[in-house]
Amino acid sequence: MTTVNLKLEQSYNFIFYGFCLCFFSGFGQTYFVAIFNSFFSQDLNLSFSELGGLYGAATFASALILIPVGKLIDEIDLRLFTFLSFVILSFACFSLSRADSYLSLFFSFLILRLGGQGLMSHTAMTSMSRYFKKKRGLATSISNIGFAAGIAFFPILAAKSTQLFYWRDIWLICSLIVIFFLMPLSIFLLKGHSLRHNEYIKSQTNLKNAQPNEFMHGWSRRHVIRDINFYLLLPLIMTLPFIATGIQFHQLVLVSEKGWSLTTWASGYSLAALFNVFGGLLAGFITARYLSIGKMVPWFILPLFISLILLIFFEDPITIWLFMLFNGLAGGTYAVVNNILWAEVYGTKNIGSIRSLIMSIGICAAAAAPAAMGYLIDIGWSMRLISIISLLYLVISMFIAFFADIRSRPNPEL
């Protein structure tokens, strides 16, 4: 096999590695865990409000822990980081299968959210950002398909499994699958990573030597949090996790207000998953071939804008399908642009540290949304009014993002 073919094979394996981590993050995603809510509630004698509060608190805690833990991907070998991430996820599934108290359930949720939603996603997207340059958008978009595939697969798997097995046994099986199948598969897909990493280090060294006083390819996290552009972009980056999560969590209220069928609404998620894939591939293709990432900001969030317009002004049941279509597009484009953006602006040397901060903020926004919107519903706000306020926030965020300087900029230490 020639060197060129070997590199191509390693690239394909590496992208599939990213896809696998995105897909199997489903073990720690809300759409999978929530299927078991009634079992958690019954066996541990918890009300749904207590369970929701526990889950939200665990999500917040996992987001905070992700900041220092996620930084380690910049400091240790990717294979070791991947191994440790799967150990955490496997232990989380095992712990959940044995949870028998409020405290043990909180601990299980915490490490499950950290290992699944947090580290699996973080590792996949950080790896694609760091080791791809010209094809960064395409590699990210293909890996992102794993998220959509997980949305389509895991809820069905959970629903069918609960009909056949005791819920604790299901989580024990998940733990065994993670440690004995998924972890070896992912490590195998990283075969030849030493060569890839050495070439990355060489390219960074050459780039630094060629343009030592012009570009900084490794902003540190402490410099990022002092950069005004970070705060100009942050409100826009928080829009999707906050707005989409809040609406999804309170979908029963929305469906009831609109007079829509819950079954029809639920079936629309398959369309959302399909267009999530399409949106991600489209964004990856556009950034790879035509537009720089700077020219896509803030316009990449327009599908979310359209989905909110649909909720505000239309009542016909066909709105469900249009909403799901644009919501899916928003998720796909957001995942790709959010991943590429920070690498383009701040470089890839410390991208794990930077992305762990961004991801933690996003997780906190997603965790806060159900409580914030729930409070507004409790005091009498309709979902239509909440959608109007969400749209206003989105427009303001887009306007603010126009003033951000989205390009590789001088090293702040020079």
pLDDT at 178: 95
The residues that bridge with 218 in the sheet, in sequence order, are 347
- Over the chain (414 residues), the average pLDDT of each successive run of 10 is 48 89 90 80 80 82 89 88 95 95 93 92 87 75 84 80 91 95 92 80 64 56 86 91 82 84 78 85 74 75 93 92 91 83 79 82 82 82 93 95 78 59
**Spatial contact of 74 and 347, defined as CB atoms under 8 Å apart:** no
Domains recognised in the chain with CATH numbers: 8-198 (1.20.1250.20), 214-401 (1.20.1250.20)
Give pTM, 2 decimals: 0.76
Task: Specify the 3-state DSSP secondary structure of 212.
Answer: coil
Distance, in Å, from the CA atom of 227 to the CA atom of 223, rounded to the nearest integer, reads: 6
Which has the closest alpha carbon to 173: 156, 163, 161? 161
Distance, in Å, from the CA atom of 60 to the CA atom of 97, rounded to the nearest integer, reads: 22
- Cis? peptide before 303, omega within 30° of 0: no
**Spatial contact of 61 and 360, defined as CB atoms under 8 Å apart:** no
pLDDT at 6: 42
pLDDT at 49: 66
How many residues comprise the chain?
414
